Amino acid sequence: MHIPEMDRILLDESEIQAKVGELAAAVSRDYRGKEVRLIAVLKGAVIFMADLARRLEVPVSFDFMAVSSYGHSTQSSGVVRILKDLDESIEGRHVLIVEDIVDTGLTLRYLLDLLEGRRPASLRVCALLDKVGGRKVAVPIHYRGFEIPNQFVVGYGLDYMERYRNVPFLFIMKPEAQAAGKPAV
């Protein structure tokens, strides 16, 4: 695929898949004998969740939430709003939030507080990408894939104006494309 806005590849397909395997092994080990409810935040985490789930060796079920996030810009608004809530109760369940990327931490902080209030048996986080440099609020990440630089990344579920979620690797945008994606102030 030709990607005009791509500056360079940050993580190639085999690096990502190897890491997903490591994360799945750790999760499978920790949850042995239990059933896990995987919760993904739409839409970015869908690809990661699909790959992770297929490598887990414990029984799993899926649920999804949609929250407002970046929309068509590359800047976090800091405002989190539920667009779609979970279909099923999580009370008494072992819940693992599957996140594509943690940047400011605002989305995850909100989700953790919300879901904790619904009395799951346990609540943990598995995030493929951690932009530590972008953090505004502290959040626990029990299973972490890669620490990445504080730049706008696209691919493997993450979009640029809803495009490129299907790209199997992760790339960094050209600076001019990053600027073009920011909201006018």
Question: Shortest CA distance to 3 belongs to which of 185, 181, 165?
Answer: 165
Name which position in 107, 123, 124, 130 contacts ligand 5GP (CB under 6 A). 107
Q: Tokens 């690096």: give the residue.
A: 15
Spatial separation of the C-alpha atoms in residues 107 and 118, rounded to whole Å = 17
Does position 106 interact with ligand 5GP (CB under 6 A)? The reply is yes
Point out the catalytic residue in the list 103, 113, 130, 159: 103
Does position 104 interact with ligand 5GP (CB under 6 A)? The reply is yes
Q: Are 103 and 76 in contact (CB under 8 A)?
A: yes
Applying CB under 6 A, the span of 1-9, 10-18, 21-29, 102-110 interacting with ligand 5GP comes to 102-110
63 an active-site residue? no
Site for ligand 5GP in 17-76 (CB under 6 A): 41, 44, 69-70, 76
Strands 6-11, 143-147: pairing kind: unpaired
Spatial separation of the C-alpha atoms in residues 76 and 54, rounded to whole Å = 31
Chain residues in the site for ligand 5GP (CB under 6 A): 41, 44, 69-70, 76, 100-108, 152-154, 158-159
Q: Which residues are catalytic?
A: 103
